[in-house]
Amino acid sequence: MASYNIFLLPGDGIGPEVTAEVEKVAHVISGAGLAKFEFEKGLVGGSAYDAHGQAISEADMARAQAADAVLLAAVGGPKWADVPYEVRPEAGLLRLRKDLGLFANLRPALCYRALAEASSLKRELVEGLDIMIVRELTGGVYFGEPKEITNLPNGQKRAVDTQVYETYEIERIAAVAFEMARKRGNKVTSSEKNNVMKSGVLWKEVVTDVHKKSYPDVQLEHMLADALGMQLVRYPKQFDVIVTDNLFGDLLSDVASMLTGSLGMLPSASLGAADASGKRKAMYEPVHGSAPDIAGKGIANPIAMIGSFGMALRYSFGLIEAADLIEKAISDVLAAGLRTADIKGDATSSVSTSAMGDAIANALKKAL
Ligand code: NAD
Ligand code: IPM
Ligand code: MN
């Protein structure tokens, strides 16, 4: 039986609560003899800062580099609002993405049948929704230099963030989006603001070139990012794959999450380039944050985290059937009426994080 080393980074806030539920699901899969998982735990974010004054230690970075996959829950929270910028919790997450070269962030927004009523949009707009947002993750304004606040002679301050994209960065994320589209609805919507930003002009030009050269069979459209935000809530089912930059991808995926019922539903996969043997570095992380407002209460929704583990099975371990069965277990449990408190809708009472995790693990056990 194949054995995989997973580096688990529960992080802060609800992070440890939702990761505990992943371990239950992994246990069911290894119990069925499909694969063995060895979980090694590390610290990231505020918890790492509290332990050793850094948002992630060098030793944990080395473990992340060596692992078959990293599973990260969430970082941040008000407790660390005043720590120096360089060691703020989010710096640990950003360093992992950058140093592991995880340029492609896949954020599927899937509306489970039972949750069509839970979306903030009308049922008919979201029923059957299946969008894949492909977010560029190691470039753009997140990492561009200079990034600084300087003091001006007149006593004012000046803050600068820099949006930078080079051709190769756009080419490789466009290729990921087109490949993905071929396996789905064969349509890519590329989004930027070429009416305002030079990086948008280059983005559109490069995506158009990649399409023409290598993927003319895929339907390509371009949409300005503000208009795309509007279209996402007007008629979301027009989209198949959306490819966009780091910042727009961050914003648009939070918007897309509400189409599915809750931010607590959206998983993600952050992938690097494949090496000669086809292996890629990968980190799996829910789209949501550490949810400080509900941390410690045992009511967080673990589905985004469990779904992220499902994406690890799909994209890192080749366990496609098991990944499909995790999605089916989630779907079945929702169909049976189980809801955590964040999923608004017709549920009369909500269940705890751990009851939701147990129910999904049990449903999976029956299906395997
Ligand atoms: P958030 O995603 O943590 O929370 C936004 C809202 O969604 C809150 O009301 C929260 O209770 C709810 N929510 C989020 N996930 C949920 C879940 N699984 N179950 C139930 N409800 C859920 O965003 P925020 O409050 O803007 O940020 C809090 C902290 O998290 C910040 O420090 C931010 O930087 C950080 N953050 C981290 C990540 C990450 O680690 N990947 C992602 C986003 C935000
Ligand atoms: C996300 C988060 C992160 C981001 C933060 C915590 C750095 O919002 O993963 O969506 O902006 O990428
Ligand atoms: Mn975000």
Percent helix, strand, coil in the chain, to 5, is 45, 20, 35
Q: Tell me the CA–centroid distance for residue 137 and ligand 2, in Å.
A: 10
Q: Is the Cβ atom of 287 under 6 angstroms away from ligand 2?
A: yes
Closest residue to atom 41 of ligand 1, CA basis: 74
Which protein residues touch ligand 1 with a CB less than 6 Å away?
A: 14, 74-77, 90, 93, 263-264, 285, 288-294, 300-301, 304, 342
Mean pLDDT rounded to a whole number for the chain: 97
Do residues 20 and 82 lie in contact, with contact meaning Cβ atoms separated by under 8 Å?
Answer: no
Same fold for the pair 1-102+281-368 and 111-262: yes
Q: Tell me the CA–centroid distance for residue 251 and ligand 2, in Å.
A: 9
- Helix (H) or strand (E) holding 73, with range, is strand 69-74
**Which pLDDT tens digit goes with each residue over 152-208?**
999 999 999 999 999 999 999 999 999 999 999 999 999 999 999 999 999 999 999
330 labelled binding-site residue: no
Cα(103)–Cα(245) distance, integer angstroms: 10
Helices 353-367, 15-31: axis angle to 10 degrees equals 20
Q: Say if the ipTM goes beyond 0.90.
A: yes
Residues with CB under 5 A from ligand 3 (ion): 250
Q: What is the pLDDT of residue 89?
A: 98
Ligand 1 atom nearest 76 alpha carbon: 32
Mutate to test the pocket of ligand 1, among 263, 265, 303, 344 (most ligand atoms within 8 A of CB): 263
Backbone angles phi and psi of 278, in degrees to 5? 90, 0
Give which of 332, 307, 306 is closest to 106, Cα–Cα: 307
Ligand nearest to the CA of 251: 3
254 labelled binding-site residue: yes
Q: What angle do CA 353, 356, 358 make, to 5 degrees?
A: 110
Ligand 2 atom nearest 247 alpha carbon: 11
Q: Which CATH number fits domain 111-262: 3.30.1330.10, 2.40.110.10, 3.40.718.10, 3.50.50.60?
A: 3.40.718.10
36 bridge partner residues: 3
Check if CATH label 3.40.718.10 holds for domain 1-102+281-368: yes
- Helix (H) or strand (E) holding 187, with range, is strand 187-192
**Which pLDDT tens digit goes with each residue over 7-48?**
999 999 999 999 999 999 999 999 999 999 999 999 999 999
346 labelled binding-site residue: no
In this prediction, residue 348 has a pLDDT band, given cuts at 50, 70 and 90, of low
Give which of 344, 340, 332 is closest to 356, Cα–Cα: 340
The pTM (predicted TM-score) of the whole model is 0.97
CB atoms under 10 Å from CB of 358, counted, come to 16
Residue type, 43: L
Which tokens go with 260? 């599915």
Answer whether residue 346 shows pLDDT above 60: no
Domain assignments of the chain as residue spans, ordered by start: 1-102+281-368, 111-262
Do residues 176 and 134 lie in contact, with contact meaning Cβ atoms separated by under 8 Å?
Answer: yes
Residues that are catalytic: 142, 193, 226, 250, 254
Among the residues of the chain, which ranges form H helices? 15-31, 46-52, 58-66, 89-99, 123-126, 167-182, 198-214, 225-234, 246-259, 303-315, 320-335, 353-367
In this prediction, residue 225 has a pLDDT band, given cuts at 50, 70 and 90, of very high
Answer whether residue 344 shows pLDDT above 90: no
Average pLDDT rounded to a whole number, residues 237-251 = 98
Q: What is the pLDDT of residue 349?
A: 77
**Which pLDDT tens digit goes with each residue over 50-84?**
999 999 999 999 999 999 999 999 999 999 999 99
359 labelled binding-site residue: no
Do residues 171 and 147 lie in contact, with contact meaning Cβ atoms separated by under 8 Å?
Answer: no
68 labelled binding-site residue: no
Mutate to test the pocket of ligand 1, among 290, 309, 352 (most ligand atoms within 8 A of CB): 290
Which tokens go with 324? 């499909």
Q: Is the Cβ atom of 173 under 6 angstroms away from ligand 2?
A: no
Q: Tell me the CA–centroid distance for residue 204 and ligand 3, in Å.
A: 23
Q: Is the Cβ atom of 90 under 6 angstroms away from ligand 2?
A: yes
Ligand nearest to the CA of 261: 1
Give which of 234, 229, 52 is closest to 242, Cα–Cα: 229
Task: Give the percent of the chain with pLDDT over 90.
Answer: 96
Average pLDDT rounded to a whole number, residues 202-226 = 98
Ligand 2 atom nearest 268 alpha carbon: 9
**Which pLDDT tens digit goes with each residue over 106-151?**
999 999 999 998 888 999 999 999 999 999 999 999 999 999 999 9
